[in-house]
Structure 1
Amino acid sequence: MTQSARFSVRPSLVRRIALASIIANVGIVVTGGAVRLTASGLGCPTWPRCTDESYVSTAEMGIHGAIEFGNRLLTFAVGAVALAALVAVLLHRPRRRSLVLLALAVLAGIAVQAIIGGITVHTDLHPMIVGIHFVGSMALLLLTYALWRRIGESDGPKVRTVPAPLHALVWITTAVSAAVIMVGTLVTGSGPHAGDADAERNGLDPATISQLHADLVFLLIGLSVALWLALKAVGAPPRAVRAAVVLLVVELAQGVVGFVQYLTDLPVLLVGLHMLGSCLVWLATLAVLWSTRERPPVGAATTPPADPGDPAERADRELAPAR
């Protein structure tokens, strides 16, 4: 047995570590929300130190300091999981450049997020920086999800498994899902849970921006229903239909939480649950995107599905019985 083979990591282990990275990044979004919802955003008033004299919180800083410092410590845990994923893909045989690049991107993204977190503290929780910090977390979820899915794929070219118009609908749905998340950060920036009593708000009218957010949510749900029905109509792969159903269910649950929290003056528990829901909606959206394409083994002959309305395809179907 060669030295490289002796230290090779099984694909199943690499995939489990990548899944742990997804979970860790969802977890830090939720705990970051807890920091804001408990008004602990400036529990550690500076960065990278917690105070001018100490890297850790002190007893004088109370519960807010402990909560903020605890969230900072979780960044190291998330980074450790990402580092483990990088080591795993480096030890995987054969080593795959695509996996190494994705794992490196995740690790670099976590470092960037830590810096943005520091800027957030130095700008006294400016709502735009807080929003960028949250969107950055969604970008990290995209990278970690891509790594997790790529481990089970070949390095062959991507091939869509649904007709081109339907694949375009998938991309439109993905774009609207991203827009819902970004507008949601503006809603948060106009609301009462700023992370600190003296933190600045973005100045937008909460009712107006919330209505825009709700309109986008209705659009997303409508697109998701259309996507599910279209996937069934064209006989798309079962995994694509299932992914669309899951997306729709998660969206509806998230919508219910969103409306209830709005009508009940944004209770902390529901706002935290809504943040978790945002991660789940985004991951469900990515699952639909990935379910409508595949990477056949390198060298395998592939033919993308023909569009139902293509004249040549219709002629082939009509002539088929006579051949």
Structure 2
Amino acid sequence: MTRKGPSAGLRRLVLVTLGATFALVVVGGVVRLSDSGLGCGPAGSGLQGWPLCRGDLLPGLELNAVIEYSHRALASAVGLLMIALAVVARRRLRGSHRGVVWATFAAVVLVVAQGLLGAVTVERNLDAALVAAHLGLAMLLLGLLLYVWWGVRPQRGHGGGPGGSPAGRERGLRWLSLAASAAILCTIVAGGYMAGTEKYGRSDRGESAGAHYACGTDFPACNGGFMPFGQSSLADVHLTHRGFMYLAAALVLALAILTLRRRPRGREARLAAGSIGLLLLQILLGALNVWISDQLELLILAHLTVATLLWMSVTGLALELSPARAGRTETTGDDRSGHRPAGEPVPA
């Protein structure tokens, strides 16, 4: 009887889908920063602007239309990869990795919702709340795919220290990892809302209409204070993003330091150390975005990219610290290996 379980091909498909989804986030940033959000038609274009592009199935040679359409094409490819992943996961993992199978189907639902939300965002003239929701949903998709990868990749033992840690301390570290992940997600969504207040791609806003410079070029101060909420609605938007950032920074540093104090091995150690490095780089990029008086698109894109990597790193660490980690058995290959995936019944 042929044994089913996570195969090398399935793992490659998960990685390709994860990489394509990450690229989709970055390309989405390029769309916004190049003023291409409405490249396929103005707000209110209906079907002529989405899924069509200026009434045509394919865009012309106008740069903004090509950039916007490239984002849509990549999103379609990601959708197809998600569907393929769900089909293969159900065929290979049914009965042994139910959580992973359900996660792949949830990812299909989310990617469809993401496409529809993108259409509504275009139709509503890149409304700030919709821009933020669109970005937040992309992060959730990445989180689901990380969970799928965590569930199917080869296991080489628990990453904790040699002597282990008391159960209460382990439980506290897990809750801290979830809190850090949630704080980063809130920071990213708040940053997406702040970006949605800017002029990019919209004809109804001037150069200085957004929240980007609502605090001037001051950081960590803001207009003579530290967190002076109430000065203006745009300043409040900016300060909300900073507030979540301060919370996320404190939680990530605490999580990484406490994790490293356990003297972990392997992935757990790399993710903890990497999270500190990404956090420091992200804070520097955020500060430079404020300190430099002219908005530099590449700097803003780097800020989005590193934020996404930080979210993935901390979410990956949260998965490594999850209670299911210690109980999983080692699986190192596809059907031709001699190991059996955790939880799979022995065939009669």
TM-score normalised over the length of structure 2 = 0.73
Matched, 1:50 2:78: no
Q: Which has the higher helix share?
A: 1
**In the alignment, does 2:289 pair up with 1:261?**
yes
Does 2:45 match 1:39? no
Answering whether residue 86 of structure 2 is matched by residue 86 of structure 1, we say yes
**1:243–1:93 distance in 2 versus 1, CA, 3 Å:** closer
Tell me if the contact between 2:126 and 2:196 (Cα under 8 Å) persists in the aligned partners.
Answer: no
Deviation at 1:166, TM superposition (A): 2.5
Structure 2 residue ranges without an equivalent (≥5)? 42-48, 156-166, 212-231, 329-341, 344-348
| Residue-by-residue CA offset, 1:208-231 (whole Å, 9 max, x unaligned) | 433442343233223222223322
Aligned residue in 2 for 1:183: 190
Aligned-residue Cα RMSD (Å) equals 2.8
Q: Which residue of 2 aligns with 1:97?
A: 98
Determine the structure 2 residue equivalent to 1:321.
none
The 5 Å alignment of 1:1-323 reads 5=2, 11-45=7-41, 46-52=49-55, 54-59=56-61, 62-92=62-92, 96-152=97-153, 163-192=170-199, 194-198=200-204, 205-235=233-263, 239-264=267-292, 265-295=294-324, 296-297=327-328
Compute the displacement of 1:237 (Å): 5.7
The question of whether the paired residues in 1 share the 8 Å contact of 2:36 and 2:67 is answered with: yes
Q: Distance in 1 between matches of 2:103 and 2:296?
A: 38
Paired with 2:29 and 2:93, the residues of 1 have a C-alpha distance of 39
Q: Residue by residue, what CA displacement relative to the aligned partner does 1:77-108 show, whole Å, maximum 9, x if unpaired? A: 11122122123213326654322211111122
**Would the alpha carbon gap of residues 105 and 153 (structure 1) be closer, same or farther in structure 2, given more than 3 Å must change?**
farther
Q: Structure 1 unaligned runs (5+)?
A: 155-159, 300-323
CA distance in 2, matches of 1:124, 1:228: 40
Percent identity of equivalent pairs:
25
**1:119 Cα shift?**
0.3
Partners in 2 of 1:239 and 1:176 — Cα distance? 22
Q: Could you tell me the TM-score, scaled by structure 1's length?
A: 0.79
Aligned positions, number? 286
Matches of 2:188 and 2:10 in 1, distance apart?
29
CA distance in 2, matches of 1:260, 1:202: 17
Residue 334 of structure 2 aligns with which residue?
Answer: none
Q: Tell me, in whole angstroms, the C-alpha distance in 2 between the residues paired with 1:77 and 1:40.
A: 20
Distance 2:103 2:179 in 1: 24
Q: Distance in 1 between matches of 2:110 and 2:134?
A: 11
Q: Could you tell me how far apart the structure 2 residues matched to 1:153 and 1:106 are?
A: 22
